[in-house]
Structure 1
Amino acid sequence: MRSRTASCCCGQLRIEVHGEPLGVGVCHCLACQQRTGSVFAALAAFAGPYAVTGAASEYVRTGDRGASFRFRFCPVCGSSVFHTEEGDEGAPVLVAVGAFADPSFPPPQDSVYDCRRHAWVQLPAEVTAFARDPT
């Protein structure tokens, strides 16, 4: 089974995941825009188990539908690396695609909160866009 390692910019915080992503998507919600400092977040979902090395700072926020998400980022360089949903032990871990530093990483299949997508951001035709979160 293939493994991949994602890390922060300075390399202090790492997560190793196994297998192919369950899904890859982009999120245009305003919280993701503020969290990443970009106009969208690119995320890949992986089933457990996974291994984390290094120290992480954490931030918990509540999404539009009431679920809470725990974001982990490097306390040294500030890079956002991964997050999980609170209270759902079986939920996949969501890893920032850019943290893999792999230009050959699979492209997104889905785009959520497309209602908040910047007009100049163009997505490939095969990406399924949802005005909000479909789940």
Structure 2
Amino acid sequence: MSERNGNCLCGAVKYQITEDPIMTRVCWCRTCQHIAANGTVNLVVPSEALHINGELNSYVSTADSGSQVTRRFCPACGSHLFANSSARPQFTVVRAGTLEDPSSVKPSANIWAASAPGWACLDPTLERLDQQPLPPRTSTA
């Protein structure tokens, strides 16, 4: 297990992740492009492994799947930090750029690659998925 820490731009929100990410991917969906003006690198972590200190605001929208997605961000500096889907509340998406050491994770895939702009630099060594992949499997134990 590897502990990771992160924070928003102004430092008002800090967090700790106490388990390794289930996966790390670059997302090129149009929503992520609106958030970052580019693709976003995202960790998927067990929700219970994320410990947050500080106040967050949220924005809820409906995904193409019909799931409700809650995106959480710092109310002071606007840094987008986390996202949760109503379809998979046991997982939280964490924006890798908010980690103290973003190099501590490496993406394994580009997702929603079909939505990437023509100028996007997609690493050809990563798996390419044109849309949303299947959700991560959970332990049945």
The TM-score normalised by the length of structure 2 is 0.86
Q: Which residue in 2 is equivalent to 1:46?
A: 45
Q: Which residue in 2 is equivalent to 1:55?
A: 55
CA contact (8 A) 1:6 1:81 kept: no
Against the structure 1 CA distance between its residues 103 and 85, is the aligned structure 2 distance closer, same or farther, given a 3 Å change threshold?
A: closer
CA contact (8 A) 1:27 1:112 kept: yes
CA contact (8 A) 1:6 1:100 kept: yes
**Counterpart code for 1:124:** D
CA contact (8 A) 1:28 1:111 kept: yes
Q: Which residue in 2 is equivalent to 1:127?
A: 126
Moved over 3 A (4+): none
Q: How far 1:86 sits from its partner (Å)?
A: 2.3
Against the structure 1 CA distance between its residues 131 and 89, is the aligned structure 2 distance closer, same or farther, given a 3 Å change threshold?
A: closer
CA distance in 1, matches of 2:2, 2:31: 32
CA distance in 1, matches of 2:14, 2:66: 28
Percentage of identical aligned residues: 26
CA contact (8 A) 2:23 2:44 kept: yes
CA distance in 2, matches of 1:29, 1:87: 18
Structure 2 unaligned residues grouped into runs of 5+: 135-141
SS in 2 for 1:104: helix
CA distance in 1, matches of 2:85, 2:25: 16
Q: Number of matched residues?
A: 133
**Counterpart code for 1:19:** E
SS in 1 for 2:5: strand
Q: How far 1:63 sits from its partner (Å)?
A: 1.0
Tell me the C-alpha RMSD between the 2 structures.
1.5
CA distance in 2, matches of 1:62, 1:68: 5
CA distance in 2, matches of 1:134, 1:17: 23
Residues 1:111 and 2:107 aligned together: no
Q: Which residue in 1 is equivalent to 2:15?
A: 15
* Cα distance per residue 1:69-122 (max 9 Å; x no partner): 1111000000001111226442x1110000004242222111111111122222
Q: Which residue in 1 is equivalent to 2:138?
A: none
